[in-house]
Every structure is written in C-alpha cells, then in structure tokens.
Amino acid sequence: MKPAWDKLTKDFADSKSAGVFDVDCTAAGKPLCDSNGVRGFPTIKYGDPNSLEDYEGGRTYDDLKAFCDENLKPSCSPANIELCDDDKKAEIEKFSSMSAGDLDAAIATKSEELETAEKTFKSEVEKLQKKYESLQSDKETAMQAVKDSGLGLMKAVAAHASA
C-alpha cells in the first residue's frame, strides 16, 4: 500500500482544498494518532480534521484515488456553512449558540456514548469468542466420539461388502 499512498500524496501536494498525509504513529505523531483512535497500522482517516472518520475502502492506488476524488473536497462545516442544507445549518447554529462549557459537556456526553458503545461491542465479541471456542471444543469432542465408536471400521466393512 505504501507506493500507492506515496503516489496519492504527490497527487494532492498542491491542492488548496484537500490533503493526503502520512503520520508516524510510533514516533512524533503518536499523540495525534491516540487522540483520533488509531489502534492498528496502516489506518486511513478522512474528513474534517476535528472529526475524522475511518476509511474502509480498497487499498490500491485506483481505489484510494477514486475515493479521494469523490470525497476530499470542501463539505458542510462551520467553516463552509454555505455548503450545508437547512437542517445542518440549524444544527450548526444550535451548537454555535451554546456556551463553551455547555458545548464541552455535550461533547463529553457524546464521547462517553461512543466509548460505551465500543466497550459493549468488545465485551459482546469477547462473549461470542468464548462461546465459539466452547462450541468448537464440543464439536471436536463429539466428532472424536463418533470416530472412536467405530465409524471408520463401519465404512471399511461397507466398502468391502460392496466390492
């Protein structure tokens, strides 16, 4: 993926409205990566720098380029309010009219909701993993019991009788 990413970085080097960048999450970029939820490498994020989203698409140059051409352009935000529909404008106005303390509290609440959703997901996946392992063990035990009960010999006798 590195050659494709390097080519993409060059493609957007002179762009006035979009950027494609590398961040080394193991060195000086670690705080930035930590604050944006980067846990594995390579991770691709896109969107408003204050609210980055995960990229889940293909990793070839053509996939990345097509995504960038479609998505890396100015979009609805407080800085580009003219690009917003009436509902988003109203939402931006509502948040803009909040005091800094109220806005920080609302952000904290929503961030907590995200963390809770992530914790619930991880907990439930862990339960599923344990259940899977239990079922796998039960299956292996049952299969071995069937084999030990003479299945192989039964098949050999049946094959010998029909020959």
Q: Which helix (H) or strand (E) holds 53?
A: strand 53-54
Q: What is the CATH number of the domain that holds 37?
A: 3.40.30.10
Q: Write the pLDDT tens digit of every residue in 76-99.
A: 889 889 989 999 999 999 999 999
Domain count for the chain, please give it.
1
Q: Write the pLDDT tens digit of every residue in 16-67.
A: 778 888 888 888 888 888 888 888 888 888 887 778 888 899 999 999 999 8
Predicted structure pTM score: 0.56
Residue 87, in any domain of the structure = no
Q: Which helix (H) or strand (E) holds 87?
A: helix 86-96
Closest CA to 92 of 112, 83, 101: 83
Residue 57, in any domain of the structure = yes
Residue 1, in any domain of the structure = yes
CA atoms of 1 and 162, how far apart (whole Å): 57
Q: Structural domain of residue 36, as residue ranges? A: 1-73
